[in-house]
Amino acid sequence: MAYTHTFTQHVTTPQGVISDAGAVATADTTVSVSGTVPANGEAADDVDIAFTAAGLESLVLLSTVPCVVTLTGVTEFDGAAGTPTADDVTLVANVIRHVSAITGDCSAISVGANTDGAGAAGTITIAAIFNS
């Protein structure tokens, strides 16, 4: 069975809507996880997802609070090293992060605590499609 992610961006301005052409990715395996972003000061939460760099077609991350997500084994996301370390994706609250290519196979994902000073726990959704 084939699974598809369609990613487009739209911005509404006083002058009208600005849209990109979008990207469509298709793969034979899908996984989606909704979980908790720990409150500031709490331990990271591990997520049981793994995939190879060659197989990844689309990875989408969305968190209700700012946090850092670590993809163990990954050194680049869409051609750039992660921050604060190479295997990290820094998420802004309520902003989708789409990744279409990685360097290095992802063997595990860990969701770090809310990065706001006294930040409460939040929720995160991680969705990926990849060829197995």
Q: List, in order, residues 6 or more apart from 23 with CB less than 8 Å away.
A: 6, 7, 8, 58, 98, 100
- Cα–Cα distances (Å) from 13 to 39, 92, 95, 109, 123, in that order, read 35, 22, 18, 36, 29
Residue 15 lies in a domain: no
Half-sphere exposure of 34 (CA within 13 A, CB side): 3
pLDDT tens-digit map of 11-58? 999 999 999 999 999 999 999 999 999 999 999 999 988 999 999 999
pLDDT tens-digit map of 23-34? 999 999 999 999
Residue 101 lies in a domain: yes
Place of tokens 């802004």: 92
Residue 84 lies in a domain: yes
pLDDT value at position 84? 87
CATH of the domain at 70: 2.60.120
Residue 9 lies in a domain: no
Single pTM value for the model: 0.90
Dihedral sign (CA 96, 100, 128, 27):
positive
